[in-house]
Amino acid sequence: MDKDEINQKISNLIKEKRYEEVSLVLDEYSIFFWREKYNKMTFEEKVKYWSGRLHSQMRWNGESGVDEMAVFSKADYEIWKKYEPEIDELLPHIIKYLTVKEELIYEALKK
């Protein structure tokens, strides 16, 4: 299952006005991604995944007038750990890809 297949499924559901099923497809893909795709990623691929995801979230926050650093919180960190138990090992490598000082990120993750 790839993004094109998911997008096609969602597009078809919307055309058929089966809106309530869209979230089920997204949930199904999320489970597939974390169990199948993510678990097969190398360390470096995981670093790139997380840095890209966090960078995008920071940019979206900034464009929405929200503090970019709001991406980094203790609550978010706890969610990350559920998906990636070894996030602490990845984090120093992820931060290298971001345009934020390392100490600011670690400080924000405590809040």
pTM above 0.85, yes or no: no
Among residues 72, 75, 78, the alpha carbon closest in space to that of 95 is found at 72
pLDDT tens across 24-36, in order? 999 988 998 999 9
Domain range list for the chain:
1-40, 41-111
The pLDDT value given to residue 49: 97
The pLDDT value given to residue 63: 95
User: How many whole angstroms separate alpha carbon 31 and alpha carbon 25?
Assistant: 10
Residue 80 burial (10 A CB sphere; 0-12, 13-18, 19+): buried
Q: How confident is the model at residue 2 (pLDDT cuts 50, 70, 90)?
A: confident
**Contact between residue 86 and residue 80 where contact means Cβ atoms under 8 Å apart:** no
User: How many whole angstroms separate alpha carbon 25 and alpha carbon 33?
Assistant: 12
pLDDT tens across 41-88, in order? 999 999 999 999 999 999 999 999 999 999 999 999 999 999 999 999
